[in-house]
């Protein structure tokens, strides 16, 4: 379960006919996880994921999930963080979390939630984000709206599906949230859960930093593509965790990867022979991040060369150099941590 | 600045014949396996003459300068004559030899051009 969705092929779920799926649907105050975060509680007692990092809070969710697995159904569990338990775990900022807990028959294709997760995963595999709309009370139902416009499932009424699709279109841009839908004289609350494909990190330069990057990026749900012109460097032996290894003309390989805001290109060859052609290929594309290893002085020199070729200041300003957050590290794994920290900051909107 | 360096930098900043040749009749790709220079040389040959020659490269300044002067030189040349161009001509054109350890950077375009001509059969006249 790398993206929070139920994955029927996940080994931990193969012997779990039913699970309780807990989803953080709303939070106020200081919470450590984003809305949409999930935890799966299996009938066997298995736990996957967590809706908070606070042990006492997750413990209450697990307790409620265990009860729900026996009784069935679904409920929203509201937990105050402004109580004794919160003090015990250091959550002194206060606030509340609302967690939707629902029983899901994992391998039953007519289970609306299980089917919705299959559809959402298919959308992610196509490189499209998807929104799963589900009611917070009453019978289980789910509608999946993909970025490309495809829909799967239903919330029970075509008029409700239409209104939910409109909201989902906004959620695709602005993120997961609860929203009401008024229909036939009643108002019902729905959670709109945005799921996005993982960031793809294109690593140009198959050196030691790249080796550390591919190992660590996996833990952060990032795909990695290692690119180099040297067969002897870009090998599977050196990069067992890379999703792809591509050898050839780096600028052509990078240009062949479909650009999107979820693509980050990390230039760590530290060699202008790759940097200049790759930057020429990238600076007018829509990739979400371009970073280059090197000092500020070196970065300025590269920008000056590209400015001579007609690149604008706005285009050149897209190059993050020195790459990564300044954490003072020098070793390849430390530099990798710094680069990944910056990519996480970009992914979470903390850095442009 | 030495003449060699000035010529290399001038060609690196303003390379001649850089970019793909859409109607090429022969093409070869070459690489320096450790330093990572990569180049593709493409030629269009008709009636034993190189009508056009271009290159695409992710490579260092010496390699790009070498490819630039080489493709300028062989355009309009008989294939049999182009096959005789050697490293000495490249170094004379650049007005100097690269530092030790960088000679392969300067000869990679030449080796790649020869492979393009020979693999395609263009050089067998």
User: Taking residues A146-175, what's their average pLDDT?
Assistant: 95
In-domain check, residue A352: no
Centroid of chain to Cα B27: 12
Chains A–B, number of C-beta pairs less than 8 Å apart: 44
In-domain check, residue A166: yes
pLDDT at A235 over 70: yes
Domain boundary among A167, A195, A223: A195
With a pLDDT cut of 90, the percent of chain A lying above it is 70
- On whether both A235 and A270 belong to a single domain, the answer is yes
- The answer to whether the bond into A322 is cis (omega within 30° of 0) is yes
Which structural domain range is residue A110 located in?
A: 11-195
In-domain check, residue A6: no
Partners of residue A133 on adjacent β-strands: A143, A192
- On whether both A186 and A216 belong to a single domain, the answer is no
User: Taking residues A285-297, what's their average pLDDT?
Assistant: 95
- On whether both A188 and A333 belong to a single domain, the answer is no
DSSP B66-110: HHHHHHHHHTT-BHHHHTT--HHHHHHHTTSPPPTT-HHHHHHHH
Domain boundary among A148, A171, A195: A195
Kindly report the three-state secondary structure assignment for every residue of A57-115. HHHHHHHHHHHHHHHCCEEEEEEECCCHHHHHCCCCCCCEEEEEEEEEECCCCCCHHHH
In-domain check, residue A2: no
- On whether both A41 and A190 belong to a single domain, the answer is yes
Centroid of chain to Cα A223: 11
Would you give the DSSP letter of residue A2? -
Between positions 12 and 71 of B, the ones with CB within 8 A of A are: 13, 29, 31, 33-38, 40, 56-60, 63
Centroid of chain to Cα B57: 10
Best residue in B13, B19, B58, B62 to probe A by mutation, most A CBs within 10 Å?
A: B58
Domain count, chain A: 2
In angstroms, what separates the C-alpha of A219 from chain B's closest C-alpha?
A: 30
Q: What is the pLDDT of residue A89?
A: 52
In-domain check, residue A5: no
Range scoring the smallest mean pLDDT among A70-74, A90-94, A114-118, A277-281: A90-94
User: Taking residues A271-276, what's their average pLDDT?
Assistant: 95
- On whether both A242 and A326 belong to a single domain, the answer is yes
By C-alpha distance, the chain A residue nearest B14 is A309
Domains in chain B, CATH or no CATH each: 3-119 (3.90.1010.10)
Q: Do B36 and A251 touch (CB under 8 A)?
A: no
pTM confidence score:
0.82
Domain boundary among A162, A180, A195: A195
- On whether both A220 and A297 belong to a single domain, the answer is yes
- On whether both A182 and A252 belong to a single domain, the answer is no
pLDDT at A1 over 50: no
**A344: nearest Cα among A324, A319, A314:** A324
In angstroms, what separates the C-alpha of A249 from chain B's closest C-alpha?
A: 6
- Which residues in chain B land under pLDDT 50? 125
- On whether both A117 and A19 belong to a single domain, the answer is yes
Rounded-to-integer distance, Cα A22 and Cα A29, Å: 20
Rounded-to-integer distance, Cα B20 and Cα B89, Å: 24
- On whether both A324 and A211 belong to a single domain, the answer is yes
Rounded-to-integer distance, Cα B66 and Cα B108, Å: 8
- On whether both A262 and A318 belong to a single domain, the answer is yes
Rounded-to-integer distance, Cα B34 and Cα A110, Å: 56
CATH number, domain containing residue A204: 3.40.50.720
């Amino acid at each position: 379960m790398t993206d929070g969705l139920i994955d029927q092929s996940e080994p931990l779920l193969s012997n779990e006919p039913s699970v309780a799926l807990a989803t953080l649907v709303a939070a106020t105050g200081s919470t450590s996880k984003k809305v949409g975060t999930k935890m799966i509680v299996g009938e066997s007692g298995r736990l996957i994921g967590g809706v908070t990092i606070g042990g006492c809070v997750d413990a209450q969710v697990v307790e409620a999930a265990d009860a729900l697995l026996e009784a069935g159904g679904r409920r929203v569990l509201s937990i105050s963080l402004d109580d004794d338990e919160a003090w015990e775990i250091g959550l002194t900022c206060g606030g509340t979390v609302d967690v939707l807990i629902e029983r899901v028959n994992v391998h039953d294709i007519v289970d609306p939630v299980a089917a919705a997760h299959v559809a959402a995963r298919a959308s992610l595999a196509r490189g499209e984000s998807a929104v799963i709309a589900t009611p917070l009370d009453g019978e289980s139902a789910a509608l999946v709206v993909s970025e490309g416009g495809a829909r799967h499932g239903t919330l029970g009424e075509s008029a409700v599906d239409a209104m939910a699709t409109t909201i989902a279109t906004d959620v695709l841009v602005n993120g997961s949230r609860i929203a009401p839908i008024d229909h036939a004289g009643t108002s019902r609350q729905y959670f709109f859960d945005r799921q996005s494909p993982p960031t793809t990190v294109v690593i140009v330069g198959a050196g030691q930093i790249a080796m550390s990057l591919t190992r660590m990026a996996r833990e952060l749900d990032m795909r990695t593509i290692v690119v180099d012109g040297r067969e002897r460097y870009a090998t599977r032996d050196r990069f067992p965790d890379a999703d792809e290894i591509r050898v050839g003309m780096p600028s052509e390989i990078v240009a062949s990867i479909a650009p999107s805001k979820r693509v980050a290109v990390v230039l760590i060859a530290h060699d202008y022979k790759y940097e200049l052609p790759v930057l020429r290929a990238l600076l007018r594309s829509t990739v979400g991040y371009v970073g280059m290893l090197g000092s500020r002085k070196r970065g300025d020199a590269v920008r000056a060369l590209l400015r001579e070729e007609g690149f604008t200041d706005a285009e050149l300003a897209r190059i993050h150099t020195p790459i990564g957050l300044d954490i003072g590290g020098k070793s390849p794994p430390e530099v990798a941590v710094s680069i990944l920290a910056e990519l996480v900051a970009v992914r979470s909107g903390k850095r442009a | 600045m030495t003449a060699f360096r000035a010529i290399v930098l001038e060609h690196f900043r303003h390379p001649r014949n850089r970019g793909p040749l859409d109607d090429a009749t022969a093409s070869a790709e070459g690489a320096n396996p450790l330093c990572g220079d990569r180049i593709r040389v493409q030629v269009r040959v008709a009636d034993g003459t190189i009508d056009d020659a271009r290159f695409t490269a992710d490579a260092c300044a010496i390699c790009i300068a070498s490819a630039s002067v080489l493709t300028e030189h062989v355009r309009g040349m008989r294939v049999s004559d182009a096959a005789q161009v050697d490293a000495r001509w490249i170094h004379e054109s650049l007005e100097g030899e690269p530092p030790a350890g960088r000679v392969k950077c300067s000869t990679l375009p030449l080796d790649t051009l020869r492979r393009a001509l020979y693999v395609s059969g263009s050089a067998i006249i």
